[in-house]
A and B are shown apart, each in its own frame.
Chain A
């Protein structure tokens, strides 16, 4: 199969989604080798996806939580708090405080990520992962977000060296492993709860 530049531009987003027919993907990769323009489109789009995926662009306004909590208290929970609700809230607060203390203690001993913008790995795959010297992420071999020559190491070794998981390929890898939920959302949840307490 031979593809033209227009075909590449039309399918380049699906290329990064991993949503391409294998023959088309191969044809696009052959095209990249000889077309610097399409290489530029591919590399630029990869950079855009990585940048927006990694940088914490939006932060909640100061006072967002208490204002929301206040409005919910007024309109959802009611002004009168039952004894049971009080006990539940004390329990939840205690559990959150305990988890915050544990997380802070664990953080002191956790390896420092090479990228300050990334979340450290909280779940690891059981197989070897690929890292590039000078890079910041560990990947599944063949991930389109990996640049240059890579070497295979254990996930634990990658974490010790400060590498953090590629949010694209590692999500899929954990999902396909079965039994382990690729809960990046949950990790986000845990880290934000810790930070906000």
Chain B
């Protein structure tokens, strides 16, 4: 927490002095003034990120693509409401999260929402495995199936943990930006991030038959932390 003021100061500094940010702000002004053809240029750097967060929530490629497209259209429609003291990317992610959550609520997937999604963040999480996992086998990083295992493990987490983990550890957003995008406090982001990281560690660690031993799978439908 003691670093938070410093981080916020850095964030402000970056936002003010970032030439990319200034270029983006100028682009937004031109779009607001009627040059709507520039909108694609504005959003293009964030296409992948918007799709990733929609996929994280919906877990279906086609739905995620539709949600991403709708999010971009909404961003255009409500660009007038964007306040330039925030990062455009953070605001856009916020729009995408809202769009994906809305779709999820409307779909039958809501019925199948894991029980863990409805849990609160209270209580501590106790690691289950203490096998030595000091080294990542370097060749493992190059293996194609590792990616599938990582996606599978991430997909087995509850939505609120997936969202935080993807924003911070996959998309490398700051804690503050992730909190802003998700509409929760920085403290809640940290708590969920801790749980997500510990759960993934347990799911992937060698002692629980993680990806490194090569002979065991993460059993479908199991939630080792529940």
Across-interface contacts of B197 in A (CB, < 8 A)? 12-13, 45, 48-49
Is the CB–CB distance between A51 and B141 below 8 Å? yes
Contact of A45 among B40, B72, B175, B201 (CB under 8 A): B201
Is the CB–CB distance between A17 and B48 below 8 Å? no
Digit string of B168-187 for contact with A (CB within 8 Å is 1, else 0)? 01101001000000000000
Is the CB–CB distance between A52 and B125 below 8 Å? no
Across-interface contacts of A183 in B (CB, < 8 A)? 18, 20
B108 interface residue per 8 A CB criterion: no
Is the CB–CB distance between A55 and B18 below 8 Å? no
Is the CB–CB distance between A41 and B170 below 8 Å? no
B134 interface residue per 8 A CB criterion: yes
Across-interface contacts of A136 in B (CB, < 8 A)? 138
Contact of A71 among B2, B69, B138, B141 (CB under 8 A): B69
- Per the bound structure, the CA–CA distance linking A41 and B65 in Å amounts to 36
Is the CB–CB distance between A43 and B130 below 8 Å? no
Contact of A181 among B4, B18, B141, B142 (CB under 8 A): B18
Cβ distance A23 to chain B, nearest Cβ, rounded Å: 11
We find that the number of chain A residues with CB closer than 8 angstroms to chain B is 70
Cβ distance A115 to chain B, nearest Cβ, rounded Å: 7
Across-interface contacts of A1 in B (CB, < 8 A)? none
Given the known inter-chain contacts A9-B125, A17-B175, please indicate yes or no for A40 contacting B133, CB distance below 8 A. yes
A53 interface residue per 8 A CB criterion: yes
Across-interface contacts of A78 in B (CB, < 8 A)? 36
Across-interface contacts of A85 in B (CB, < 8 A)? 35, 37
Q: Which residues in window 61-88 of A have CB below 8 A to B?
A: 61, 64-65, 67-69, 71-72, 75-78, 81-82, 85, 88
B161 interface residue per 8 A CB criterion: no
Cβ distance B16 to chain A, nearest Cβ, rounded Å: 11
B92 interface residue per 8 A CB criterion: no
B interface, how many residues as a size bin? 35 or more
A82 nearest CB neighbor, chain B only: B37
- Per the bound structure, the CA–CA distance linking A185 and B48 in Å amounts to 11
Given the known inter-chain contacts A17-B190, A44-B133, A117-B142, please indicate yes or no for A77 contacting B17, CB distance below 8 A. no
Is the CB–CB distance between A61 and B18 below 8 Å? no
13 contacts between A and B (CB under 8 A): A9-B126, A17-B190, A41-B201, A43-B132, A53-B170, A65-B47, A77-B36, A89-B37, A147-B134, A147-B135, A184-B172, A189-B45, A192-B45
Is the CB–CB distance between A186 and B20 below 8 Å? yes
Digit string of B4-33 for contact with A (CB within 8 Å is 1, else 0)? 100000100110011110000000000000
A142 interface residue per 8 A CB criterion: no
Chain B at the A interface: SS class: helix
Is the CB–CB distance between A55 and B147 below 8 Å? yes
Write the residues of chain A forming the contact surface with B, with a CB cutoff of 8 angstroms.
Answer: 6, 9-10, 12-14, 17-19, 21, 36-37, 39-41, 43-45, 47-58, 60-61, 64-65, 67-69, 71-72, 75-78, 81-82, 85, 88-89, 92, 115-117, 136, 147, 167, 171, 175-176, 178-179, 181-186, 188-189, 192-193
Digit string of B61-100 for contact with A (CB within 8 Å is 1, else 0)? 1100100110011001000000000000100000000000
Cβ distance A21 to chain B, nearest Cβ, rounded Å: 7
B41 interface residue per 8 A CB criterion: yes
B136 interface residue per 8 A CB criterion: yes
Cβ distance A89 to chain B, nearest Cβ, rounded Å: 7
Cβ distance A64 to chain B, nearest Cβ, rounded Å: 6
Contact of B136 among A47, A92, A188 (CB under 8 A): A47
Is the CB–CB distance between B133 and A18 below 8 Å? no
Cβ distance A65 to chain B, nearest Cβ, rounded Å: 7
